[in-house]
Amino acid sequence: MLKRNVLPDNYTYPILVQACGSSREGEEIHTHVLKLGFGSDVYVLNTMINMYFVCGEMGNARKLFEEGAVLDSVSWNSILAGYVRMGDVEEATLIFKRMEEKNLISWNSMISGYMKCGSIEEARKLFDSMPERDVVSWSAMISGYAQHDRFVQTLELFNEMQRGEVRPDETTLVSVVSACAHLVALDQGKWTHAYITKNNFEINSVLGTTLIDMYMKCGCVENALEVFYGMKEMGVSSWNAIIVGLAMNGLVEESLEKFSEMSNHGVAPNEITFMGVLGACRHVGLVDEGRGYFNSMVQIYKVEPNVKHYGCMVDLLGRAGLLEEAEELIGTMPMAPDVATWGALLGACKKHGDTKMGERVGRRLIELQPDHDGFHVLLSNIYASKGRWEDVIEVRGIMRHQGVMKTPGCSLIEADGVVHEFLAGDTAHPLMEDIDRMLDEIAVRLKMHGYAPATNEVSLDIDEEEKETSLYRHSEKLAIAFGIISIKPPTPIRIMKNLRICEDCHAAAKAISKVFEREIVVRDRHRFHHFKHGSCSCKDYW
Q: What is the pLDDT of residue 466?
A: 45
Task: Read off the amino acid at residue 332.
Answer: T
Q: Which of 336, 388, 390, 380 is nearest to 358 (CA)?
A: 380
Q: What is the pLDDT of residue 463?
A: 42
Q: Which long-range contacts (C-beta less than 8 Å, at least 24 apart) are formed by 257-265? A: 265/234
> What is the DSSP code (8-state) at residue 270?
-
φ, ψ of residue 119 to 5 degrees: the values are -85, 70
Q: What is the pLDDT of residue 196?
A: 96
Q: What is the pLDDT of residue 130?
A: 92
CA distance 11 to 38: 11
Q: What is the pLDDT of residue 237?
A: 96
Q: What is the pLDDT of residue 21?
A: 66
Q: What is the pLDDT of residue 170?
A: 94
- Per-residue model confidence as pLDDT tens for the chain (542 residues): 889 988 888 788 878 877 876 777 878 888 888 888 777 777 777 777 777 767 777 777 778 767 765 567 777 777 788 878 778 888 888 888 887 778 888 888 889 888 988 889 999 999 999 999 999 999 999 999 999 999 999 999 999 999 988 999 999 999 999 999 998 899 999 999 999 999 999 999 999 999 999 999 999 999 999 999 999 888 999 999 999 999 999 899 999 999 999 988 999 999 999 999 999 999 999 999 999 999 999 999 999 999 999 999 999 999 999 999 999 999 999 999 988 899 899 989 988 989 999 898 888 888 888 888 888 888 888 888 788 888 888 888 888 888 878 778 899 999 988 889 999 888 999 999 999 999 999 999 999 988 887 665 554 443 444 445 567 789 999 999 999 999 999 999 999 999 889 889 999 999 999 999 999 999 998 899 999 999 999 988 88
162 contact partners, CB below 8 Å, separation of at least 6: none
Task: Read off the amino acid at residue 280.
Answer: A
* DSSP β-bridge partners for residue 40: none
Q: Which of 202, 203, 212 is nearest to 239 (CA)?
A: 212
φ, ψ of residue 411 to 5 degrees: the values are -130, 140
Output the CA torsion sign for 138, 141, 147, 151: negative
Q: Evaluate whether 438 touches 516 at the Cβ level (below 8 Å).
A: no
Peptide bond into 490 cis (omega under 30): yes
> What is the DSSP code (8-state) at residue 457?
G
CA distance 151 to 148: 8
> What is the DSSP code (8-state) at residue 314?
H
Q: What is the pLDDT of residue 242?
A: 97
pTM of the model: 0.79
Q: What is the pLDDT of residue 462?
A: 38
